[in-house]
A and B are shown apart, each in its own frame.
Chain A
Amino acid sequence: MHCFESGDTLIYADNAATTKISDNALKQMLPFLQKQYGNPSSQYSLGVKAKRAIEEARQRVSMALGALPSEIIFTSGGSESNSWVLSSVTNGHVITSSIEHHSVLNACHALEHKGIEVTYLPVDSKGRVSLDRLKEAIRSETKLVSIMLANNEIGTIQPIAKIGEYLHERNILFHTDAVQAVGHIPVHVKQLSVDFLTASSHKFNGAKGTGILYKRNGVLLPPLIFGGAQEEGTRAGTENVAGIVAAGYAINESVANMTAMADKLLVMIQKTISGIRSKIPNFIVNGDENNRLPGIVNIVFDGVAGDSLMHLLDLKGICVSTSSACVSGKDQPSHVLMALGLTEQQAKSAIRISYGRYNNLDEVETIVANICHAYDKIIAAKKY
Chain B
Amino acid sequence: MKQIEYVNCFSCGKKQLSKDEVALNKKMIGREIKQFYCLKCFAEYFDVTTEELLIKIQEFKEQGCALF
Whether A329 pairs with B66 at a CB distance below 8 angstroms is: yes
User: For the complex, is B56 an interface residue (Cβ under 8 Å from A)?
Assistant: yes
* A311 partner residues in chain B, CB cutoff 8 A: 27-28, 56
**B66 nearest in chain A by CB position:** A329
User: For the complex, is A378 an interface residue (Cβ under 8 Å from B)?
Assistant: yes
* B10 partner residues in chain A, CB cutoff 8 A: 384
User: Roughly how many angstroms separate A378 CA and B45 CA in the complex, as a whole number?
Assistant: 10
User: Roughly how many angstroms separate A1 CA and B63 CA in the complex, as a whole number?
Assistant: 21
**Residues 24-60 of B contacting A (Cβ, < 8 Å):** 27-33, 35, 37, 45-46, 48, 52-53, 55-56
Q: Please count the residue pairs between chain A and chain B whose beta carbons lie under 8 angstroms apart in the complex.
A: 53
A-side interface residues, number (CB < 8 Å):
23
User: For the complex, is B67 an interface residue (Cβ under 8 Å from A)?
Assistant: yes
User: Roughly how many angstroms separate A377 CA and B45 CA in the complex, as a whole number?
Assistant: 8
Whether B30 pairs with A315 at a CB distance below 8 angstroms is: no
B-side interface residues, number (CB < 8 Å):
22
* B29 partner residues in chain A, CB cutoff 8 A: 308, 378, 381-382
User: Roughly how many angstroms separate A281 CA and B65 CA in the complex, as a whole number?
Assistant: 32
| Residues A326 and B56 in contact in the complex (CB < 8 Å), given A381-B45, A382-B33 | no
* B63 partner residues in chain A, CB cutoff 8 A: 326
* B52 partner residues in chain A, CB cutoff 8 A: 1-2, 5, 315
User: For the complex, is A340 an interface residue (Cβ under 8 Å from B)?
Assistant: no
* A326 partner residues in chain B, CB cutoff 8 A: 63, 65
Whether B66 pairs with A5 at a CB distance below 8 angstroms is: no
User: For the complex, is A307 an interface residue (Cβ under 8 Å from B)?
Assistant: yes
User: For the complex, is A236 an interface residue (Cβ under 8 Å from B)?
Assistant: no
User: Roughly how many angstroms separate A5 CA and B64 CA in the complex, as a whole number?
Assistant: 21
Query: How many Å from the CB of A315 to the closest CB on chain B?
Result: 5
User: For the complex, is A328 an interface residue (Cβ under 8 Å from B)?
Assistant: yes
* B48 partner residues in chain A, CB cutoff 8 A: 315-316
Whether B46 pairs with A315 at a CB distance below 8 angstroms is: yes
User: Roughly how many angstroms separate A311 CA and B46 CA in the complex, as a whole number?
Assistant: 12
User: Roughly how many angstroms separate A384 CA and B30 CA in the complex, as a whole number?
Assistant: 12
Q: Interface readout for A291-321 with B: 1 if CB under 8 Å, 0 if not?
A: 0000000000000110110011011100000
* A2 partner residues in chain B, CB cutoff 8 A: 52, 55-56
* A381 partner residues in chain B, CB cutoff 8 A: 29, 33, 35, 37, 45
**B10 nearest in chain A by CB position:** A384
Query: How many Å from the CB of A282 to the closest CB on chain B?
Result: 16
Whether B65 pairs with A308 at a CB distance below 8 angstroms is: no
User: Roughly how many angstroms separate A275 CA and B29 CA in the complex, as a whole number?
Assistant: 23
User: Roughly how many angstroms separate A377 CA and B42 CA in the complex, as a whole number?
Assistant: 11
**A381 nearest in chain B by CB position:** B29
User: Roughly how many angstroms separate A5 CA and B53 CA in the complex, as a whole number?
Assistant: 12
Whether A382 pairs with B30 at a CB distance below 8 angstroms is: yes
User: Roughly how many angstroms separate A155 CA and B64 CA in the complex, as a whole number?
Assistant: 29
Whether B30 pairs with A329 at a CB distance below 8 angstroms is: no
**B29 nearest in chain A by CB position:** A381
Q: A329-B65, A329-B66, A384-B33 given; name 4 further pairs at CB < 8 Å.
A: A307-B27, A308-B30, A315-B48, A378-B29
9 contacts between A and B (CB under 8 A): A5-B52, A311-B56, A314-B56, A315-B48, A315-B53, A315-B56, A330-B66, A378-B28, A378-B30
